[in-house]
Structure 1
């Protein structure tokens, strides 16, 4: 005879493992969203003075805090569906979780292949995005300013693209045009200075007038290479570590996707067995399924 309806086809170990993974990511997504909302609030307060409501809204939405809030919300929603879906054995939530993680994995693979097949074009697009969001908006919010300063000091770079320190000509405060009234005209932020990135004596005015110098002359005072070049060189110098981290993240995503699919199949199998009509046992010990309503007694 069969094992009966009391037998469960759902693995408790699989169910609770998936629940714990997603609970951790759910908490992380919640913290990211809270940090993003906190940063957006202060960005709105800073931007409100002297600006219209539409301009303030644009600054707040496109600020890095907005990106952090959106990323945290996505992580929160996906991990919540996986967490509750596994706990309550909810097929709808588990399908949402499975397809979301699968789509993320496919997009990551597409981006990785694009970087491998079209490295220079991909780098050009990345430099353009970073230059527009970080260089031009450097003084629009403290979040962007702090990120750029930290990146330039920690990595030892200045600017984002292959133009290096000359990228800062795209910022209205550091632009070298004759009509620019800014005292920082034709300069670069202090975070570009060698004294700041190396932890030496720090001078807030060390970046003044650096764009008017040749690279060979400016390199004695500031970092002249762009941050994209510096980051690529850093990854090349730590190639095995970077490859290991990327491989581990991809492997983890594939594992979680497989676990979600396995749990989905087990729940569907359990429900199919539970709702299946019970077998009837004949006098001779043989069993048969549910008979039609008009059928007569079985012939022995």
Structure 2
């Protein structure tokens, strides 16, 4: 079925948009996987569900985008009204999902610090007896070069020795190995609360930015698809 010159242009623009969607799907998938990897084990420090679910949502959306792009490409090339409508509906759902992730990423980061502070205060005293707590603190203090919640004194305030992960490498005193202490030259002086919050906020910012940015582009795709579907339907009605 031949379309008018203007709608033919829309047809090919829609086809090009779907190639772009395939690329954005890959971007979303990569960003989601990277966020999932980078947020562990820090995700255990907060009870905000956004930081658990957002990367998974992005991964699922990235995979679905490939399927949606297929419908869009086939519908545009074959001028199939049903496939284009299916494409539009799927794309609109994805748009809403990505927009929701983006908005949630902006809103939830404000509650993040209180959630992490509460969790750290509740678990630091269990460091000697709980392997999970010990592993989490050790990974954070090693990766982020920090110590305690607000600083090394948090360990002494809880009547606990400063873990060796609060120091860089093996502590040496008078030529012999020693435990990490408040006077160790390689002690991490900054607290972990600010570092963990900053790390997770960076992940949330990336998820939010990618979600909103790509959602806007995909909204244009929905508009093009609706214009093309309307033109194809009008062609059927005039035959």
**Which range, TM-score by smaller chain?**
0.5 to 0.7
Distance 1:268 1:164 in 2: 61
Instruction: Work out whether residues 157 and 223 of structure 1, in 8 Å CA contact, stay in contact via their aligned partners in 2.
Output: yes
Distance 1:264 1:130 in 2: 50
Distance 1:108 1:228, change over 3 A: farther
Which structure 2 residues correspond to residues 123-202 of structure 1 after superposition, within 5 A?
A: 123-128=113-118, 149=139, 152-153=141-142, 155-159=144-148, 162-165=149-152, 186-190=161-165, 192-193=166-167, 196=168, 202=169
Distance 2:191 2:12 in 1: 52
Distance 1:255 1:30, change over 3 A: closer
Q: Quick check: which one's helix share is greater? A: 2
Which structure 2 residues correspond to residues 37-186 of structure 1 after superposition, within 5 A?
A: 70=56, 73-89=59-75, 90=83, 91-113=85-107, 115=109, 119=110, 121-128=111-118, 149=139, 152-153=141-142, 155-159=144-148, 162-165=149-152, 186=161
Structure 1 or 2, whichever has the larger Rg, is 1
Distance 2:178 2:14 in 1: 57
Distance 2:155 2:164 in 1: 8
Number of corresponding residues: 198
Shift of 1:13: 2.7
Shift of 1:109: 1.9
Instruction: Work out whether residues 26 and 62 of structure 2, in 8 Å CA contact, stay in contact via their aligned partners in 1.
Output: yes
Shift of 1:6: 0.6
TM-score normalised according to structure 1 size: 0.46
Distance 1:228 1:87, change over 3 A: farther
Hey, what does 1:263 align to over in structure 2?
A: 224
Hey, what does 1:292 align to over in structure 2?
A: none
Q: Deviations 1:197-228 (Å, cap 9, x if unpaired)?
A: xxxxx317989464xxxxxx357442243334
Shift of 1:154: 5.5
Hey, what does 2:18 align to over in structure 1?
A: 18
| Unmatched tracts of structure 2, length 5 or more | 37-51, 76-82
The SS at the match of 1:11 is helix
Superposed CA RMSD in Å reads 5.0
Distance 2:210 2:145 in 1: 27
Instruction: Work out whether residues 81 and 94 of structure 1, in 8 Å CA contact, stay in contact via their aligned partners in 2.
Output: no
Q: Deviations 1:20-48 (Å, cap 9, x if unpaired)?
A: 33245348738977xx8xxxxxxxxxxxx
Residue 235 of structure 2 corresponds to residue 274 of structure 1: yes
Shift of 1:82: 3.2
Distance 1:234 1:97, change over 3 A: closer
Distance 1:125 1:74, change over 3 A: same
Distance 2:120 2:210 in 1: 24
| Unmatched tracts of structure 1, length 5 or more | 37-65, 170-174, 177-184, 197-201, 211-216, 279-300
Distance 1:266 1:71, change over 3 A: same
Shift of 1:164: 4.3
Distance 1:207 1:258 in 2: 61
Residue 170 of structure 2 corresponds to residue 203 of structure 1: yes
Distance 1:189 1:252 in 2: 43
Say which structure, 1 or 2, has more relative contact order (CA 8 Å, 6+ apart): 2
Shift of 1:84: 1.7
Distance 1:221 1:207, change over 3 A: farther
The SS at the match of 2:147 is coil
